[in-house]
Amino acid sequence: MAEVDYYELLEVERTADDKTIKSSYRRIAMQCHPDKNPGCADSEAKFKAVSVAYDVLKDPQKRAAYDRYGHAAFQNGGGGAGQGQGFEGFSDIFENIFGEFMGGGGGRGGGRTSALRGADLRYDLEISLDDAFHGHTEQIRVDVAAVCDLCHGSGAAEGTAARTCGTCNGHGKVRAQQGFFVVERTCPTCHGRGQTISSPCTECHGEGRVEKTKTLELKIPRGVDEGTRIRMTGEGEAGTRGGPAGDLYVFIHVTRHDLFQRDGTTLFAHAPISITTAALGGTITVPGLDGTAHELRIPPGIQTGKQIRQRGAGMPVLNGRGQGDMVVQIDVETPTKLTPRQKELLEEFRTTETGEESPQASGFFSFLKDKLAGG
């Protein structure tokens, strides 16, 4: 089963502070709490998942471990986040984060070098509103530091291997006594790697990684919105010394549409209608993003600014079921080019007006007349 990013579960950025994380957790937990959704297995599962995510991100040490190693940080020793993670598993994690020397013995399992996780990458992708509505598969090209195919990430030439650094015994750091103090610094021989390579790989020059352009297939789900973040696990930079690869985060940007504006799952549009349609009523047809021609009924006497709602013709709910609505705002257009006959008919209509046809206009000018008369 795919593991969901804890930051995505809590709907916060990776840079979010503790207050933001706590506030978002409370909001989501309240929405999906089993007591509010009795008998809903999906809500119960989500409630448990966000609780586990919050248990990790609210703790500075657990969060640091998760930011660096992802879910793998809590898989040592078989324990999971929020499930009584043992000290030994966390000790391994924090040893890699804060340095491998623990006490005078050079740390548990002395001589061991830590593998480093590759960096996460960001990719910004522009899609149309139609693509956001239907969802599709997009091919993206990403420049990334990938594992060298020739040396398989070891950095050593074929037939050779990296050796434990003799200066630091594989720790990557050396200590020096200065009076009562012990000063620790990066090993000058291996530059913190803990290993030396006598015969570097000719392809990557001992780095174990090379710059490559990867073509990836990204599945864009229906209903994505501006700023939606899609995580591609393991598609970031390759790790060093056998470390896991980072992740690629694709941020969605939706381009402007000619007809519709979007607010969540609601689509808004403006529809100009003639003055006769506004007065007598009728129907108009608005093409939806789903390819359906939606016929909207115009009631007689409709005014500019009136909105007509078409249920279920909006955007799909992301990772859910159903669709939002389409809301069409009516703009009554006054004719600007009239034939002589049309002018004649309008003049005839004007001679028959009593004021009751346009009560708002009649009332407004009566009000002005009273004011001017000092009433």
Which residue ranges are tagged as binding site for Zn(2+)?
148, 151, 165, 168, 187, 190, 201, 204
At which residue do the structure tokens 């009566």 appear?
366
Which residues define the annotated binding site? 148, 151, 165, 168, 187, 190, 201, 204
Are 118 and 246 in contact by the 8 Å Cβ rule? The answer is yes
Structural contact between residues 251 and 123, judged by C-beta atoms closer than 8 angstroms:
yes
Distances (CA, A) of 360 to 26, 117, 295: 49, 70, 29
Asked whether the beta carbons of 128 and 254 are under 8 A apart, the reply is: yes
Per DSSP, the three-state class of 330 is strand
Closest by CA position to 269, among listed 283, 254, 253, 257:
257
Provide Rg for the chain, Cα atoms: 33
Q: How many CA atoms lie less than 13 Å away from 26 in the CB half-sphere?
A: 6
Give strand pairing partners of 134: none
Nearest by Cα to 53 from 26, 92, 90: 26
CA quadruple 171, 172, 177, 182: dihedral positive or negative?
negative
